[in-house]
Structure 1
Amino acid sequence: MSGPARQLLRWTRPHAGRIAVAAILGAATVASSIGLMATSAYLLSAAALHPSIAELSLAIVGVRFFGLSRGVFRYLERIANHTLNLRLLGELRVWFYRTIEPLAPARLFELRGGDLLARAVGDIDSLQEFYARVLAPPAVALAVAAGTAIFLGARDTLLALTFLVFFAAAAVLLPAMIRRAGRAPARALSGARAALSAQVIETLQGLPDLVSFGAQGLFLEQLHGENLALAAAHRRWAWLQAAPAAASLALGHLAAAATLAWGVHLTAAGRLDGVELGALALGVLAAFEAAAALPAAAQVSEAVLAAAGRVFALSDLKPAVRESAAPVDLPDRPGILDLEVRGLRFTYPGQPSPALDGVDLRLAPGARVAIVGPSGAGKSTLAALLLRLWEIDEGAIFFNGVELRSLRSDAARSLMAALVQQPTLFNTSLRENLLLANPQASESDMRRVLHHMQLGAFLDTLPSGLDTRVGEGGLALSAGERQRVALARTLLQPAPILLLDEPTAHLDTITERGVLAGLTAAAPPRSLLLITHRLVGLEAMDEILLLARGRVVERGAHAHLSRAGGLYQRMLELQNRAWDVLGETETRGRSAPGTQT
């Protein structure tokens, strides 16, 4: 038995009783069909002899009973199967989320977003077929085969053997052939579906860039190719579905014909009542309803196992962060948090040089420290390690003297209100986006942080105020407005440390200074760790650390570093020179003849 099959079966163990009930109801449904066909045939044959109505009363009652019971059992079977499927799919989706949560973001970089979505939606939805169409049909077929063989064997052994030969061909040989033939198409179908999903999502997400570069034709061509591949996979799958259905139907009719032929011989020999001939033949034909589901079950099983393999493959990925076997709690010092980084070293997998190489840092309670440096210096890597998104290679991080790795990851993250470089706004109202950080925040709290982020006037212009929807990814807002809303949300989070990675990205210089002033006003008494490559508003920082190639090359206050003749001073001079050029250009543009102001 394959690994995905064993894992699926483990999920069914707590629901063994419900699965048994569904299988019994399925067998009862087929048994009612057999009874309906057999008693109907018997009634017609017996009525042709013109007996009294009393002699036919039992058959008449039987037809009514089996006709009604078949519908009742089928309804109850569907209810049982759907209830079971919904329970199991709910459990699988919760398991899926709990599995990928520890993998984010480090290990999920290995997967395309669309592929992950296809596993979360399409593949997990496919698993519902396993319980209703893979597990139950063999049990139903076995019960029906045994009951029908016993009924036929009571009249003649060869009748029972003939039935079993044809039934085994439909229930065992045909599914085995279909399963063997369906393995490659099942994997192809699952892979093509995931590839198309990934391509669609990437195309939609990057549509503005594609249009601006005139490259939409190329991506649409790729999308068309993925769609053709999926259509071809579906066609192969459809052929595999049609062939076993026809073969099973043919075997059922052949079995009925063989039963009728041998029954005629038995009747001629006086060993069988001729009235029973039609009942036996149609009863055998009805019994093949149970066998007809097995080729489809074999085919579906390959698709289900392919989907299960993709879903459960995520459990084979090891989280980048190892949780402590015996996590500890921080000493109870409300509102006071001392952060210390000692000798921190970290190298990304597959990279030859370290992203951080021996970084030391101290953030005292209420202090303000800035981490600056050129792109690729390791600033965001430091933030990721503080948030326990990657495992530290060497060195240590301490909160109130407790080593970070000895804390639970969620507990460590709750110590910092963090703004990452690419914050996400959800397709809901401004209010609900803000409340993600602090569900207990009042409307006045939300308005206060928005005011600190220079969004007070903007809020007054919104048609529904805080209840205005921001669009998917916050696209109803400008880039600068999205950044400031994300900053306001971070300020609402009740954590003793503010960790802000490039908080003034997408902002003009005037707005940037206003936002930094708002941060300075809103931060106390919390500590502030500011990560930025723009040397603006750093006069308010208690200490500045300049990173280059993963190392701290300079540290000190702005007043000292700006005159020390080092890299910080050169970066500051280059930045000021660029702003002078921009300011001069803007002034010339305004004073040019014909220029409107």
Structure 2
Amino acid sequence: MTEILRLLRLASPAKGLPALLAAFFAALSGIALIGAASWIIASAALAPPLSALTLGITCVRACGISRAVFRYFERLLSHRLAFACYEDLQHLTYRQAVEKLPLKEGAMREGEFLHDLLSGCKTLRDFYLRTVPPPLLAGLITLLACAALLPLSPLGAFLVAFLYLLHIALPHLVLKEEHLRTESAAYRGTLLNLVDGRTELHLGGAIPHARQMLDDAARTFQAKQSKKRGRRETLFTCLDVLRVALWVSLLILLLPHVKAGAVSGIEYAVWALALEAALAEYRPLPAAILGAAAAKQAAAVILPEEKAAALQEAPTGTASAHRTASDRIPLLEVRDLCFAYPQCPPILKNLSLRIKRGEHTAIIGESGAGKTTLACLLLRLWDIDSGTILYSGTAHTSLTADEARSFFGAALQGSCLFSTSVRDNFQRLHDGLSEGAIWQALETAQLADVVRALPHGLDEPLGENASRLSGGQRSRLLTALALASDAPLLLLDEPTAGLDAARGAKLIAAVLENLDKKEGTLIVITHDLPLLDRMKQVISL
């Protein structure tokens, strides 16, 4: 229920109310149209003067026009609201991906996570179109129908209200367990495993067996899908039968009033068709209730958890506050950190380290020792298995991932760059960054001359993942992007890779000079041994 409330707050009642009112008046116009038409047909059977039907004819025309007008406004307003919310949801999806990827469980789990995000985003878009309006609209129609029936048949009013509640409750109770995400993920996992191992399967002559495995997995998944679809259709058919049964029951309940003269024959005809039109508003309810369950599951993945009021401060403000802390408190401290990839031995075990402000630190070690893994843990890309990371004295458990990352400007190997311009890459990462600050970062990273030589300078397209730059130039651009941050820690992963010794030394000297001016601290992962002479601390893994 919490997820549904958060979705509703994302749209806000003030924005959704006009669309709901337009839908309500469109439904009322439709019911009035049916009622007026039935009045004309029943009255015409008595062969009255044409003038006696004029009012009914005018009413039919007015209701037909108003129904079309209100339906147009309902579609316009509801779709405008839904796509505005969809834009916000896409931003949230992007933030979730940025915050949680990469996953230490590997590429398959990352694919499953992205599938959940993208499919969930579409589900939540439909939430505002097909999930929220039908129950509210049908509820309003139910109130009006009950109020009209109550003086004539209290039992009929009760049955209408009871049928509305059945449409709300039955889909949730009968089909609440019908979620095939686990089965779908198992089928996709089998498919990907067989695709990854197709060469080995071919060499081993096991292709027929693999096909049989995939066919069995597909049949199992399809059988469960068919079972779910059959149960849905059975439930929907039963509710259709209940609506028809209730309509017939209401007509029977009104018959004594016709015999008693309280309701005329013409009025009885109006009641008959108007009630049928009103009950037709119940048809979208089962699908809407099932959509609410799907939206709840999608919201749990996409919408970020609500943080306590103490954690609502912006990341930059948090970093600024910590920068004023006493220098006696380490800027970064790790205590007894342990981490292992799934089904692998620990890559880091009981690791402890301290980095004070201005204490430039190098992290060295053999390939596979865990240097880049440690960087990812410090940036909260992954959660540690045990231990504590303190950022200026504050434990990682008391900070969100974004707040922890606000302590760093980082350039990791394998980071992606946008295919647009140098300027766009800077401004996407650092909103509102001035052109002067961009050039300063490029100068420090020894890349300014390269950018000036490009035909369009800062606005030159870089190609997919900056493919138009060499490996060394791409590495220096990542360094420049990290330098543009005002965070107290600069984390660089092999910044001199692909550079000759002279240019690498010049780059590090410029970076250190820049950090010393603004009281920043460098953490560098490196195999460049001469660089270690410039460091105040070396940590060997």
TM (norm. structure 1) is 0.66
Distance in structure 2 (CA, Å) of the matches to 1:225 and 1:317: 45
Mapped pair 1:172 → 2:165 = yes
Q: Report the 3-state secondary structure (helix = DSSP H, G, I; strand = E; otherwise coil) of the residue aligned with 2:338.
A: coil
Asked whether 1:50 is paired with 2:40, we answer no
1:295-329 deviation line (CA, Å, top 9, x unaligned)? 222322332233234446x63999xx999999834
Offset, 1:259:
5.2
Judged with a 3 Å threshold, the aligned counterparts in structure 2 of structure 1 residues 499 and 6 are, in CA distance, closer, same or farther, namely: closer
Partner residue in 2 for 1:561: none
Question: Unaligned regions of 5+ residues in structure 2, if any?
Answer: none
Amino acid at match of 1:294: L
Report % sequence identity.
Answer: 25
* RMSD between superposed Cα atoms in Å: 5.3
Give the deviation of 1:52 after TM superposition. 1.7
Q: 1-side partners of 2:459 and 2:220: how far apart?
A: 44
Quickly say closer, same or farther: Cα 1:51–1:298, change in 2 above 3 A: same
- 1:49 is paired with a residue whose SS is coil
Give the superposition deviation at 1:43: 0.4
- Mark the runs of 5 or more structure 1 residues left unpaired by the alignment: 549-597
What letter is aligned with 2:364?
A: V
**Aligned equivalent of 2:415:** 423
Query: Which residue is equivalent to 2:338?
Result: 348
Preserved contact between residue 421 and residue 502 of structure 1 (Cα < 8 Å): yes
Q: Which whole-Å CA distance do the structure 2 matches of 1:332 and 1:360 have between them?
A: 16
Aligned residue in 1 for 2:2: 6
Q: Match for 2:493: what amino acid? A: D
3-state SS in 2 of match to 1:371: strand
Q: Is the aligned partner of 1:440 residue 2:434? A: yes
CA distance in 2, matches of 1:250, 1:415: 63
Matched residue type, 1:6: T
Structure 2: how far apart are the matches of 1:18 and 1:473?
40
Q: Which amino acid aligns with 2:479?
A: L
Map 1:10-89 onto structure 2 (within 5 A): 12=8, 15-16=12-13, 22-86=19-83
Deviation sequence 1:502-539 (CA, Å, 0-9, x none)? 2244x3xxx34244133145322435746345245437
CA distance in 2 between partners of 1:343 and 1:275 (Å): 85
Shift, 1:374, TM fit = 1.9
Find the counterpart in structure 2 of residue 114 from structure 1: 111
Deviates more, 1:78-87 or 1:292-301: 78-87
Relative distance call for 1:346 and 1:17 in structure 2 (3 A) is: same
1: CA distance, partners of 2:503 / 2:199: 31
Q: 1:36 to 1:164 in 2, by over 3 A?
A: farther
2:137 corresponds to which of 135, 140, 162: 140
Q: Compared with structure 1, are the counterparts of its residues 252 and 193 closer, same or farther at alpha carbon in structure 2 (3 Å cutoff)?
A: same
Query: What amino acid maps onto 1:346 in structure 2?
Result: D
Q: Deviations over 1:551-578 (max 9, x none)?
A: xxxxxxxxxxxxxxxxxxxxxxxxxxxx
Q: 1:360 to 1:131 in 2, by over 3 A?
A: closer
- After superposition, the C-alpha distances for 1:355-383 in whole angstroms (9 at most, x for unaligned) are 46454566747xx6543222354544664
> Shift of the alpha carbon at 1:40?
0.4
For the residues of structure 2 that align with 1:275 and 1:492, how far apart are their CA atoms? 79
- How many residue pairs match? The answer is 512
Residue 538 (structure 1) aligned with residue 531 (structure 2): yes
Query: Highest Rg: 1 or 2?
Result: 1
2:216 & 2:299 partners in 1: Cα distance? 26
> Structure 2: how far apart are the matches of 1:274 and 1:430?
79
| Structure 1 counterpart SS, 2:46 | coil
Aligned residue runs from structure 1 range 18-417, under 5 A: 22-86=19-83, 112-152=109-149, 156-157=152-153, 161-162=155-156, 165=159, 167=160, 170-185=163-178, 187-188=179-180, 190=181, 239=230, 242-258=233-249, 272-311=263-302, 315=305, 328-331=321-324, 344-349=334-339, 355=349, 357-359=351-353, 364=358, 370-377=362-369, 379-380=371-372, 383=375, 393=387, 403=393, 417=409
State the 1:78 CA deviation. Answer: 3.4
Deviation at 1:543, TM superposition (A): 5.2
**Normalising by structure 2, what TM-score?**
0.71
Output the CA distance in 2 between the equivalents of 1:395 and 1:7: 31
- Partner letter of residue 173 of structure 1? L
Between the aligned partners of 1:178 and 1:415, the Cα distance in structure 2 is 48
The aligned residue for residue 573 of structure 1 is: none
Cα distance change on mapping 1:463 and 1:57 into 2, 3 Å: same
1:517 equivalent to 2:514? Answer no
